[in-house]
Structures are given as C-alpha cells and as structure tokens.
Amino acid sequence: MRNHGIWPDECSYNSLIQMFSGGDLVDHVRDLLSEMRAAGLKPKCQTFSSLIACYARLGKLSDAVDVYKEMTSAGVKSDEVVFGSLINGFTESGSVEEALRYFGMMEESGVSANKIVLLSLIKAYTKVGCLEGAQRVYEKIKELDGGPDNVVSNSILNLYADLGMIFEDRCVFDSLKENGGSDGFYLQQ
C-alpha cells in the first residue's frame, strides 16, 4: 500500500490487527497498534479485544491485563468480548478469584453477560467446587433467551455428578431430554 502512496486507515489497521491476533502473532499486533496510535488513529474496542483474546489464549494474562488497562486509559469502553476473554483466561489458568473480579467489573460497568461468559463462570466455580456459585450462574442462564445449551448443561451435570448429587443431576438431564438436547450419551458415561 505504502509503495503506491496509500497510507493505511483505521480499517486497514483493524483488519491486520485482527488477522495477526487470530494467528497469535502478538509482536506484530503490538507494533501495528503502536503505529496506528502514532498515526493519530484511535483503536476501537474490537481492536483491543482481539489482542486481549490472543494474550488470554496464549496464557499471557498479565499482558492481557496490560492491554485492558491501556484500553481503558485510552477511554475505550469494554464490551462482553473483552470481559469474556479475561474471565475465560483466568478461569482456564485456575485464577478463579481474578475471573470473578473481572465479572464484578463487568457488572459494575453495565455490560450484560452472555452465555459464553456465564459458562466460563460455571467452569470457574466448578474448578473450586463452589456449588452455590455454579447454581446461581446456571439460574441466570435459564433466564436468557434459549436457556442453557448442551455445553452449559453438561458443565452443571458434571459438577453435580462430581458432588454425588444424583437427584439434581437427573433433573438437569431430564430437562435436557425434554428440550431435545440429550441423546442419552451422558448417562452411559
């Protein structure tokens, strides 16, 4: 582009940043983000979000948090994807307290949780064996359009099974079966 006298615009930078983030090329993304800002262009939430998600996938959570802080100091408001990436990253790394802290920040900022974020919370509560927390989140998912899907239901089923809660396990399974979400595989395991 530059060889032809065409300078990248915000869309060009955003596209490249998202592609490089998808390929886990964080060094290239950081360079492009710096270049973008130096050119006087303001990155949007999606731009920061792709880098945060990349760092979270790679388990580089301190870097993800640094980008989050950079984003907020630039006056860019977080969305459910940013918070979801951080929450899931901390859940996967076993840092349940941090995952819950970012969920609290998400709620305080007025961003609504989607099923993906809530599933990450169920996984977080499951990792520490916190039945009450997992059940609270499961109830929230039931209130969402479409209710719990197979992935969410299997997460809560596994927690109930691990805790030996056969009656509760059976109730969730029967609910799945009634809604056409089960083929009997779970009970055969």
* Same domain for 140 and 61: no
Percentage of the chain exceeding pLDDT 90: 49
* Same domain for 184 and 102: no
Q: Is the pLDDT of residue 36 over 60?
A: yes
* Same domain for 38 and 71: yes
* Same domain for 26 and 76: yes
Cβ burial of 151 (10 Å; 0-12, 13-18, 19+) is exposed
* Same domain for 71 and 32: yes
Q: How many domains does the chain have?
A: 2
The pLDDT, as a whole number, for residue 181 is: 56
* Same domain for 105 and 29: yes
Percentage of the chain exceeding pLDDT 70: 92
Q: Is the pLDDT of residue 169 over 80?
A: no
Mean pLDDT of the chain: 86
* Same domain for 133 and 43: no
Where is average pLDDT lowest: 8-12, 19-23, 129-133, 145-149? 145-149
Q: Is the pLDDT of residue 176 over 80?
A: no
Phi (first) and psi of residue 46, to 5 degrees: -60, -35
> Tokens in use for 53?
């998600």
Q: Which of 85, 112, 139 is the last residue of a domain?
A: 112
167: domain range? 114-189
> Tokens in use for 44?
């949007």
* Same domain for 67 and 51: yes
Q: Which of 112, 129, 158 is the last residue of a domain?
A: 112
Overall average pLDDT of the 87-94 stretch: 92
Q: What residue spans of 58-165 are helical by DSSP H?
A: 61-73, 80-93, 96-108, 115-127, 131-143, 150-162
> Tokens in use for 116?
């993906």
* Same domain for 140 and 99: no
Give the tens place of pLDDT for each residue, 53-76. 999 999 999 999 999 999 999 999
> Looking at this protein, which amino acid is placed at residue 166?
I
Using CA atoms, how far residue 53 sits from 29, 36, 86, in Å, is: 12, 19, 7
Overall average pLDDT of the 156-178 stretch: 78
Q: Tell me the C-alpha distance between 46 and 36, whole Å.
A: 14
Q: Is the pLDDT of residue 107 over 70?
A: yes
Report the b/e string of 53-88 with b at 16+ CB within 10 A.
bbbbbeebbebbbebbebbeeeebebbbbbbbbbbb
Q: Tell me the C-alpha distance between 120 and 99, whole Å.
A: 9
* Same domain for 177 and 124: yes
Q: Which of 53, 80, 112 is the last residue of a domain?
A: 112
